[in-house]
Amino acid sequence: MAVRKGTVDVSVGSGSDLNNIGLSPDCGGAIDNGLSGVIPNGTIVTLRRGGIKRKVKITIGDATECVANTIQVSRALAKLFGLRNQARFLLAYNTATKTLTMRRKPVTIDTLTVTASSAMRPGRVTIGLGLAQRDGNYLKSGSIITIRHGRISLKLRMVLIDDIFNNDFTLRPRAIRLLGLRANNKYRIAYNQVKRELVFIRQVSR
């Protein structure tokens, strides 16, 4: 028995189809590609979340120039399984039983480089769309996000750079000092999709 795992974000479409789902597991910039090439197109699987399960047919999508793998479901199927649009899940596929199990994955571990800009307005953090979506951050520009390092936390208004290839993370120099960080250094971080919180874990080598 082999179990392969991969991270996906839910994409809820319209309609009432309960028998088909889409899966795009090959995004070039995704946090992982553990399900790439694992499930053949057209495979009938048992989709499972907790005590809810249903046989569905999978259509594998072609998605390479993106930063988050997705599972596409109808509105009806989303309601049946209690799925919300853009929610992040860990999928575990059992190749022997052809069972695809969904478990909520609100926290994503990643790395980013902190940059400084004195030109920014106070109380802001600038985040590139590529970095945001890779970490499961689908907040709109202008939303409030919590940035934390150790016991220090700041609630800042997020300014989104609308470019899927942009991975910038920029703070004002004062905010960097308050958080005990260093500009132009790389850090391991954890983004919590539910809490809307980005936590700096530790500095990593450049």
How is 77-122 classified by DSSP, letter by letter?
HHHHHT--TT-EEEEEEETTTTEEEEEE--EEEEEEE-EE-TTSPT
Instruction: Give me the mean pLDDT over the 144-173 stretch.
Output: 97
Instruction: Single out the residue in 85, 105, 125 at which a domain terminates.
Output: 105
The answer to whether residues 84 and 129 belong to one domain is no
The answer to whether residues 126 and 100 belong to one domain is no
67 touches 101 (CB < 8 A): no
Per-residue pLDDT tens over the stretch 140-153: 999 999 999 999 99
User: Does pLDDT of 78 surpass 90?
Assistant: yes
Per-residue pLDDT tens over the stretch 170-200: 999 999 999 999 999 999 999 999 999 999 9
The per-residue pLDDT of the chain, averaged, comes to 96
Name beta bridge partners: 7. Answer: 90
The answer to whether residues 20 and 86 belong to one domain is yes
The answer to whether residues 16 and 74 belong to one domain is yes
The answer to whether residues 130 and 97 belong to one domain is no
Q: How many domains does the chain have?
A: 2
Instruction: Single out the residue in 50, 84, 105 at which a domain terminates.
Output: 105
Instruction: Look at residue 120 in the predicted model and tell me its pLDDT.
Output: 95
The answer to whether residues 117 and 33 belong to one domain is no
Structural domain boundaries enclosing 79: 3-105
Per-residue pLDDT tens over the stretch 25-76: 999 899 999 999 999 999 999 999 999 999 999 999 986 689 999 999 999 9
* Cα atoms in the Cβ-side hemisphere of radius 13 Å centred on 40: 5
Per-residue tokens: 206: 């450049």
Per-residue pLDDT tens over the stretch 97-133: 999 999 999 999 999 999 999 999 999 999 999 999 9
Instruction: Single out the residue in 50, 79, 105 at which a domain terminates.
Output: 105
13-17, 90-94, 202-206: segment of lowest average pLDDT: 202-206
The answer to whether residues 150 and 184 belong to one domain is yes
Per-residue pLDDT tens over the stretch 31-42: 999 999 999 999
The answer to whether residues 82 and 127 belong to one domain is no
User: Does pLDDT of 206 surpass 90?
Assistant: no
The answer to whether residues 126 and 41 belong to one domain is no
In whole angstroms, give the CA distance from residue 173 to residue 202: 19
The answer to whether residues 93 and 39 belong to one domain is yes
Residues listed for the chain? 206
pLDDT category, 90, cuts 50, 70, 90?
Answer: very high
Give the domain CATH number at 10. Answer: 2.40.40.20
Instruction: Look at residue 1 in the predicted model and tell me its pLDDT.
Output: 64
The answer to whether residues 98 and 161 belong to one domain is no
